[in-house]
């Protein structure tokens, strides 16, 4: 029995997320390695899909069993997490309240539209109770989040709390342990091995889950997390804590003191792309017709591209980019591409 089988799961995905081969991108980078992408951006029919839904699959059973009235979560104005919270609540027939803080220093050219387009527009279409709060960015538990929960409770409702990115949730890492199990099966079906796996890291549970999932197979060193938080010390600490918590509840019997974490691409701050991020988004777009966002996937793709250029991967190795979604926020960043 797989270690994950002891946890109840509620299916939200189509099934295993597909794997694309980025042959044109690899050729553009000198044909040094084979580049693939596991498409979490195409994993479900809920809203614009993405990595958060895989996490919710192990959280939803507790929501259903507890007869909760609302799901409450938190993120930035263009948060993927809050949109997927609302989409999941719609699927379950529940209400959702999302606290959306001002995590990004919005460029002047975007200020008139940033809170009206992209993910937050979709969230309003889905009927979410979207609450804009001026507090700035940080990871971990937030005061505004606690206040929203207290307000609903005082009104006689029963809200279920889901922290930012699902990451501080006790089951936050389980979905991407399942991702690793899924990937191992796909390797066998494809007849290849992915030598390195490149994934974005901010609140930590996605990278942590993949790390622990691959550690089951003795392959935790194959995982490279790319910081997109701009606060790498806090992100490292939180991710490592989630790694060890997830390892413990799975019964893996291992404790870890580090993980591969590249901190070079998260700047200038969370939610704002640097020049290399924009170049990476455009390069992937023009070579593969695939969109990435300036907040997460643009920065992890930037990391992958630089690692290839620096010859950090062995020649002819198979490198897997984990595409977590997020391109639905691109319209909030139009000034970078006009």
The tokens 């797989």 sit on which residue? 2
Give alpha helix (H) positions in the chain.
Answer: 23-28, 51-56, 60-65, 80-92, 118-125, 143-154, 174-190, 205-215, 232-250, 275-288, 297-309
d(CA 271, CA 78): 9
Can the peptide bond before residue 191 be classed as cis, meaning omega within 30 degrees of 0?
A: no
Q: Which of 17, 44, 79, 329 is catalytic?
A: 79
DSSP state of 108: G
d(CA 296, CA 282): 14
* 335 noted as active-site residue: no
Distances (CA, A) of 19 to 173, 186, 242: 21, 9, 26
Active site residues: 79
């Amino acid at each position: 029995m797989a270690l994950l089988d002891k946890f109840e799961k509620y299916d939200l995905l189509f099934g295993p997320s597909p794997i694309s081969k980025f042959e044109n991108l690899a050729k553009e980078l000198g044909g040094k390695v084979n580049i693939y992408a596991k498409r979490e951006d195409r994993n479900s029919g809920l809203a614009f899909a993405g990595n958060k839904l895989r996490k919710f699959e192990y959280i939803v059973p507790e929501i259903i069993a507890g007869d909760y009235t609302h799901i409450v979560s938190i993120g930035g104005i263009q948060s993927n997490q809050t949109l997927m919270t609302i989409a999941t609540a719609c699927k379950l027939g529940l209400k959702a309240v999302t606290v959306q803080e001002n995590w990004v220093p919005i460029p002047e050219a975007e200020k008139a539209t940033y809170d009206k387009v992209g993910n937050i527009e979709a969230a309003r279409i889905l009927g979410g109770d979207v609450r804009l709060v001026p507090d700035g960015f940080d990871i971990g538990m937030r005061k505004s989040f606690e206040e929203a929960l207290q307000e609903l409770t005082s009104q006689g409702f029963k809200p279920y709390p889901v922290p930012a990115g699902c990451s501080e949730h006790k089951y936050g890492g389980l979905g991407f342990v399942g991702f690793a199990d899924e990937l191992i099966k796909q390797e066998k079906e494809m007849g290849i091995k992915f030598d390195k796996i490149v994934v974005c890291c901010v609140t930590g549970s996605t990278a942590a889950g993949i790390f622990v999932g691959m550690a089951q197979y003795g392959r935790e060193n194959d995982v490279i997390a790319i910081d997109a938080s701009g606060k790498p010390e806090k992100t490292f600490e939180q991710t490592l804590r989630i790694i060890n918590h997830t390892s413990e509840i799975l019964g893996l019997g291992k404790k870890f003191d580090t993980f591969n974490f590249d901190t070079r691409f998260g700047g200038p701050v969370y939610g704002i792309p640097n020049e290399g991020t924009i170049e990476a988004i455009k390069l992937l777009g023009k070579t593969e017709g695939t969109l990435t966002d300036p907040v997460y996937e643009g920065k992890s793709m930037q990391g992958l591209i630089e690692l290839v250029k620096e010859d950090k991967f062995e020649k002819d190795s198979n490198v897997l980019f984990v595409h977590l979604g997020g391109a639905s926020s691109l319209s909030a960043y139009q000034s970078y591409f006009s």
